[in-house]
Structure 1
């Protein structure tokens, strides 16, 4: 039997947490405006997959594991910060790479490449790790039934897919993509700067 109150609690906590901008949001925005819609949706699929992984860990007690092994939490935190800084620097460095006066066809990296980018971005996302280890694990009741467990995972998957999917679909519109190409250098530098700042903030906290 599904515990509807537990599912409702997960829904309310996760719905608030997922819409707060972070590295995942920035990555989806950048992919949506700079690549093809299929690339953006593949990246969203990667992010959602990792969200389901973190939710599973949280329900099974990741918060307790981090409390027992603080070095594990610190290692994940520093690795995530390093990835974010590297990703942000790469965006900034390539910001002005293309100055073509006529629009060029966008080269798709393929579903697998975009999917793995989404996985890497979210698996190293300190915001996700902190949210699931602290907030989500506290909200999700322990020792839930199997139906309730899968209902909670389905709730996380549905919310993440709807939110990030909507962002990807709206920002990958041709009008938005054309506007992005006109201001590519500035937008890439801004996105890269935000991601670098998030990485540095995570490393020193």
Structure 2
């Protein structure tokens, strides 16, 4: 059972998100917070596997709460709930170590898939969030794709396969099953990819995979 904490200052949003995630029998909402400070306190008392965290909240905003949660409970995974136009915040949260980014107005199936992905150790980016980040922070799409492809030239074909599936939100276990590898081997591949490309975490790797068009290619 995946234990989830919801943090949003709007009660109706929390109710909607709770209804969606609890429609999955493998997910349980263990606590709800109406501001960032309360979210940090509830993480310490409930130790959830995943926190679904709004960006704009009183007392402590979602970005500060994300950083604090990952400091005091490094085993907890944080998924940022965002809206269009908040891509600058997304960039900061990437650096802070958030494991996923989902649109509040997105497909409910993405919310459930994202919770499972990050709980299993993966990274999850809503495709529309990924495109926002790429378009805003990389200049033109063609130029960004070319630059990303050049960076990936240092990878082997198998490492590119692994990176594409990281970008798609798969965990190490799922990647191992897809590529007929041992999970430990996938973990070694991921570590090598992060090191070779100078990336801090799987979410940054996922963004790069989207930039290079690997995620679209892997879905064909």
TM-score normalized with structure 1 length: 0.24
Whichever structure has more helix as a proportion of its residues is 1
Greater RCO (Cα-Cα under 8 Å, separation 6 or more): 1
Bigger radius of gyration among the two:
1
